[in-house]
Structure 1
Amino acid sequence: MGTDVTSQEVSDIRSAPGFSIACDETCDVDDITQVVLLGRYFNDQGLQEELITLLPLKAQSQGEDIASAVTACLKQKDIDINRIISITTDGAPSMKGAHKGFVSLLKISMEHDVISFHCVIHQEVLCAQTFPEKISKVMEMVMQIVNKIMASALNHS
């Protein structure tokens, strides 16, 4: 059943005239870098957002490694990278680096330019800088909580 759902999602992405991807990297409890690849597209049921894949990276998590893993995954699933409209990532150098970042390298392999976005949390923090002081204090506290959670990830050996 899971295979059927996945193949239907991939088929839907393939049939969409264009789609967006979101890519983020993290480490699992075994210290293996995992790249999460999400796709957002529009079909007859409306706006859809689906997990395309979770890619474990065997080597390093540099921009080249992420770009080649994502490109290989999309090719394997027969998803045309030239129909990507936008890419959302965090601001890490491996993702947004001007020359060797994932977004820059993916743009080189495409036939057109794409829009790249910062992740939602970082966009909200940037917007919060223009808010009144009371709202800015709330956003500052939210970011402190998020950063605390991220910094206190499970320790393992």
Structure 2
Amino acid sequence: MTTWRYSRITKTNNTTSVITAVASIHNTHATFGNAATKIQGAFRNHQVRLRLKNEAAWKIHEKLEYSNEQTEAKLRDMFEKLLKASDILSPSVTKLLQKPGLPLEEKELLKLTNPDDIQVEVNYRGPHIESSIKRSTLVDLIEAFQKGE
């Protein structure tokens, strides 16, 4: 777009006035060119910032997803180890009683079924359970139940 600055051109055909008018027109084109260049540069910078922001968000998403997969794998391994090492089970009734998130009914049930408080009759002939429950103890309990002991 060309803008003429008529105030600089005089009615006489003076050479300096014409040169001033041409310089003014050239400066106007340069100003529009500079403005367009600045706008294009700002737009490109904006596009680059958006691209970098999206890349950073994607990297964060990938890291979170990868860490969740690692955590899930660790939990799966832990449960597999627990299932494989089920020969020795620790008595956890007292630990469960201390757990704050249990409902009141479950706490009362655990208190009533605490193996330390249960008295074994003298004439009982079934399997006896000691402090640590092993797989063999569980097998004995199941067999005794099947036999009706």
**TM-score interval, normalised by the smaller of the two chains:** under 0.3
Higher helix share: 2
| Structure number with bigger Rg | 2
Judging by fraction of residues, say which structure has more strand: 1
Instruction: Using structure 2 for the length normalisation, give the TM-score.
Output: 0.26
What TM-score, normalized by structure 1, do the two folds share?
0.25
